[in-house]
Every structure is written in C-alpha cells, then in structure tokens.
C-alpha cells in the first residue's frame, strides 16, 4: 500500500501543497514549527478519521478559511483509488472515495492503513492506562471498522451514564434510566473486550519476538490484558462477558453513585507490560521501556501486514533522534520494505541516501530532492 500523491488545502498552516511521494522512503525536513508533523497528521486523519493530536476538526482548518481538503491517490498491488476528506467550520465533515460521497469515516477505514510512531509513543510503558487504551483503540479501529463503530457507540453510552451519575442528586428521576444504560454498556462493552482480547493476543506475540531481536535474547517481554475484575477469561462468549460486567456494575452501584462516575466497563482497561516477569512501569530502565514501546509499535506494523498482505504506510515523526544507535539501526533495517514518511530537523536528512526529500518552510514545499538526482522543480 502506497500513497502516490498527497494534496493539502487550507490544512493547519498549509495553503496548498501537493506531494508526489516515493514508494519507498520520504524525508520531510525543516526547522521546527514549519508544518512537518502537520503533514503526518493529515495522512493519519485520512487513515483513521481523527487527529492523533486530539484536535477538533475546526482546529485543523487554516486560520481565516472555512474549509480544508485532504486528498490521497492510493495504490495497492490490485487497484488504484482516491480518498478525500473535506472539513468545514459550519457543517459536518465529508469523506469521498473515488469521487463518491460516503456517509461515515468507517466506510473509508482500511483503505489507507498507517502506523504512526512519535516521540510520545516512547513513553507508552510509563504513561497511565489511558495512553495504552488509546494505542489499542487506534490499532484495532484501523484493522476492523466494526470496532471503531462499537467504540463510538460505547463512548456515547458512557457519556450518558456519566451525566446520570453526576446529576442524580439534583434530579433523582434520572436513576430510572440507569438500568437501561447499564445493560447497553455491558452488551457493547462485552464485544469490545472480545475484540481487544483477540487482537492483543496477536500483537503481543509479535512484540515479544521483536523485543527478543532488539535485546539479543537477553530479556523476555510479556503482557497481561487487564479488564473488568469479574472477568477472568476475556475470550468467553459475549453473553457471559456481558453478565460479568453487569455483576461488576451491581456490586459497584453504591460506589458509582458516591463517586459520580462510571467504574465498570472496558473504559478502565489496561495493557500491563512486563520485562522478565517484573512490571515494566515500575522497574524497567529508560532503555528497557523504550525497547518495549518500540517493540509494540513495530509489532503494530507487522500485524497490519499480516492482516492485509501489504505493508501499511509508516509515519515516523522525528522519533529516530530519540533512539540510541542500536535501536535506531534496528528500526531502519526493519523498514526497508514498504512506504515510509519520516520527519527530521534540518541537517539530518543527508543520512538517507535513497527515496525522496522535501524541505518544508511555513507550510510550503521549498525544495524537493530525489536521491542521486538532486533538486526536482
């Protein structure tokens, strides 16, 4: 899977820019705050339907404009197609596939698969559970559009329940709706837990093997999926998982009413990470936590490749500068196949002797260079 051409109009600080991308390595370089990461954000938005910066759509539109356009011409071994997202300040966004409007972002899911590796990912091990849930959700939403739809539904139900728990003291009648929301949350939550268990089983096997390669077989990386405490086997049927979530809700009802927040459900899940049997969050060194995070991100790319038969587009956001030489060399050796888009600061682009380079200045392409050819006008 490769992006042949990528167009931005009024996105962040880009007025209009067209990138003719190499099917191999593409280096995006320039000084800080010129728009390098904005390009990766736009690609990721087209792949996932949202920004990895947690920005609202209106924040993605260039100041002074009322709309933005993201467009990609794609190619796989079997076909060519175009994807487009149009963002507006006063109305809902629009997605287009091959010139035809589609109703939801879910309908373009999987047509552009992208794996993002940013400096923040290196803290995946040490961060709180929310960061690891975000990692899980980002991976599974691209792999399975149904997961993304279930997650959106669960989040809406959770938001409604939270409002009930927050406001019931002033409006006691709200509690009458609580059993209905609990049942719906348990039903959808059971499906999410099933998805997470199955895919975590696959990705953690890949990550453990990659970690062995990076560490030279000196360490063992392992994982534990932590979900609702009444569930001891997340691979059980959705009906049994639902009943166990409802049991947890029943035993925690008074605690939820007192806290004014929902305490039962997969919104509290975590992916616990261990190195040689010890919790990495508490005992691992900085080098060990970075190796574990790197293993997870490279496993994400491998899982995408296994699932679809083609490599996803790999987006590296100035992450190589955060790695030591051994880990950096490992990444560069592993990404020799497939399309890669790397952002770098000025001066380090000369390290790459293949592919294509773009110098970005104030949201514009100042120069473009093909390896071995020189500047391309």
> Whole-angstrom Cα distance, residue 35 to residue 54?
17
Non-local (6+) Cβ contacts of 288 within 8 A are: 219, 275, 280
How far apart CA 246 and CA 228 sit, in angstroms, is 10
Decide: 78 and 3 in contact? Cβ < 8 Å: no
Domain 1-113+312-377 shares a fold with domain 123-308: no
Mean pLDDT, the chain, rounded, equals: 88
pLDDT-derived band of residue 350, with 50, 70 and 90 as boundaries? low
Whether the per-residue pLDDT at 353 is higher than 70: the answer is: no
Q: Are 92 and 103 in contact (CB under 8 A)?
A: no
pLDDT at site 347: 56
Q: How far apart are CA 118 and CA 314, in angstroms?
A: 11
Distance separating alpha carbons of residues 7 and 287, to the nearest angstrom = 38
Is residue 148 scored above 50 in pLDDT? Answer: yes
Query: What separation in angstroms does the CA of 354 have from each of 25, 60, 323, 366?
Result: 7, 32, 21, 19
For the chain, which residues make up each domain, given as ranges? 1-113+312-377, 123-308
Q: What is the pLDDT of residues 241-293, one digit of tens each?
A: 999 999 999 999 999 999 999 999 999 999 999 999 999 998 988 888 888 88
DSSP string across 152-200: HHHHHHHHHHHHHHHHTTT-GGGGGGHHHHHHHHHHHHHHHHHHHHHHH
Write the pLDDT tens digit of every residue in 102-117: 877 767 777 888 998 8
pLDDT digits (tens, 9 = 90+) for 206-246: 999 999 988 888 889 999 999 999 999 999 999 999 999 99
Residue 14 to residues 36, 42, 95, 247, 342: CA-CA distances in angstroms?
10, 11, 20, 52, 18
Distance CA 72, CA 8 (A): 9
> Which whole number is the average pLDDT over 76-93?
90
Q: How confident is the model at residue 373 (pLDDT cuts 50, 70, 90)?
A: very low
Pick among 3.40.50.2300, 3.30.428.10, 3.10.580.10, 3.40.50.300: CATH of 1-113+312-377 = 3.40.50.300
- Say if domain 123-308 classifies as CATH 3.40.50.300: no
The C-alpha atoms of residue 106 and residue 49 are separated, in whole angstroms, by 8
> pLDDT value at position 233?
96
Distances (CA, A) of 48 to 115, 138, 219: 10, 8, 34
Radius of gyration of the chain (CA): 22
């Amino acid at each position: 899977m490769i992006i042949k051409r990528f167009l931005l109009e009024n996105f962040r600080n880009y007025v209009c820019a067209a990138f003719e991308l190499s099917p191999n390595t593409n280096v995006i370089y320039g000084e800080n705050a010129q728009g390098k990461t904005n390009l990766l954000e736009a690609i990721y938005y087209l792949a996932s339907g949202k920004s990895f910066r947690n920005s609202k759509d209106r924040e993605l539109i260039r100041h002074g404009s009322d709309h933005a356009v993201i467009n990609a011409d794609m190619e796989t071994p079997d076909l060519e197609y175009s994807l487009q997202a149009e963002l507006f300040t006063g109305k809902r966004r629009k997605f287009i596939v091959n010139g035809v409007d589609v109703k939801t972002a879910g309908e373009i899911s999987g047509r552009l698969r992208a794996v993002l590796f940013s400096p923040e990912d290196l803290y995946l091990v040490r961060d709180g559970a929310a960061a690891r849930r975000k990692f899980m959700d980002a991976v599974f939403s691209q792999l399975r559009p149904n997961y993304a739809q279930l997650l959106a539904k669960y989040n809406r139900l959770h938001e409604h329940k939270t409002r009930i728990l927050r406001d019931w003291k002033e409006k006691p009648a709200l509690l009458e709706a609580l059993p209905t929301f609990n049942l719906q949350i348990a039903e959808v939550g059971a499906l999410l837990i099933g998805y997470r268990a199955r895919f975590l089983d696959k990705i953690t096997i890949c990550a453990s093997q990659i970690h062995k390669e990076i560490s030279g077989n000196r360490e063992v990386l392992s994982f534990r999926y932590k979900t609702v405490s009444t569930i001891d086997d997340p691979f059980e049927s959705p009906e049994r998982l639902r009943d166990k979530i409802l049991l947890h809700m029943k035993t925690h009802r008074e605690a939820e009413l007192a806290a004014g927040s929902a305490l039962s459900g997969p919104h509290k899940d975590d992916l616990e990470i261990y190195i040689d049997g010890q919790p990495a969050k508490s005992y691992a060194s900085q080098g060990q936590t970075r190796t574990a995070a790197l293993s997870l991100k490279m496993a994400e790319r491998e899982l995408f490749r296994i699932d679809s038969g083609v490599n996803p587009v790999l987006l590296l956001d100035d992450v190589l500068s955060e790695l030591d030489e051994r880990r950096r060399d490992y990444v560069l050796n592993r990404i020799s196949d497939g399309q890669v888009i790397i952002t770098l600061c000025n001066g380090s682009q000369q390290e790459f002797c293949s592919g294509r380079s773009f110098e970005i200045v104030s949201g514009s392409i100042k120069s473009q260079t093909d390896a071995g050819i020189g500047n391309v006008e």
